[in-house]
Amino acid sequence: MLALFHTIVYQPLYNILIFLYNVIPGKDFGISIILITILLRTLLIPLYKQQIESQKKLQELQPKIKALQEKTKHNKEQQTKQLMELYKENQTNPFSGCLPLIVQLVFLIAIYQVLITISSNGLVADTAQLYSFVADPGKINQLFIFLVDLTKPSIVIAALAAVTQYFQTKMLMDQQPVSTVAPDSDKPDIAQMMNKQMLYLGPFLTLFIGIKFPAGLSLYWLAGTIFMLVQQILMQKKASH
């Protein structure tokens, strides 16, 4: 499994990053990270759209799900069976929205390993990892815009990543249709409670990780979040026309 991860994820990202670093004027490693982030997020657009559609369908189904759960609350086996039938009838997979998150996590781990490997190797590329058409860049400049050392934690970039993630998550929540709950229902909306928790928990974790790990990781997360924020704005404008 590790060998597969290394071959199809880690090594390609490593080479793309070094290739971008070689061709970018000024040899800015931070710009290379931003460009590879844009490339990855562009490739993930179909998965992201699938995630949005899945979330919308699940939100629209909430009234039926609540009614079904109330009806079968004393028979968990029957409840699970009927829920699966409901999802099937509406062509909805409650777990399909998890796939983009898993893919993002895999790339995040790979980028982290690339940064750690380059840092621990004395800011020199490992020629054993480079493809034949990718030139050895020699000593890598770890500074982003001549100011931020990407091999060390940066509170500023971590804070910016956390703030942009908050707004991105909030916009995503605002775009979701409001679920209809029966007036006489005294049960809390679990989905809404989880969304509110993620609105604050996600940025907090981003900030916490950002102040502990290399700034290159926070820069990758910041660039990716800004990309998704712009993408959501464009999708929202397109849907309103």
Query: What is 98-127 written as a DSSP string?
Result: HHHHHHHHHHHHHHHHHHHHHHHTTSB--T
> For 2-55, what is each residue's pLDDT tens digit?
888 888 999 999 999 999 999 998 889 999 999 999 998 898 888 777 777 777
Strand ranges inside the chain, DSSP E: 143-144, 148-149
How far apart, in whole angstroms, are the C-alpha atoms of residue 154 and residue 147?
A: 11
Higher pLDDT, 16 or 65: 16
Give the model's pLDDT for residue 192. 58
Domain range for 189 is 2-240
Q: Give the predicted TM-score (pTM) of the model.
A: 0.77
SS3 (DSSP) at 139: strand
> For 188-217, what is each residue's pLDDT tens digit?
555 556 666 777 888 898 899 889 888 888
Which position has the token pair 């928990």? Answer: 201
What domain count does the chain have?
Answer: 1
How far, in Å, are 7, 118, 162 from residue 3 at the CA level? 6, 19, 33
Closest CA to 123 of 47, 216, 23, 231: 216
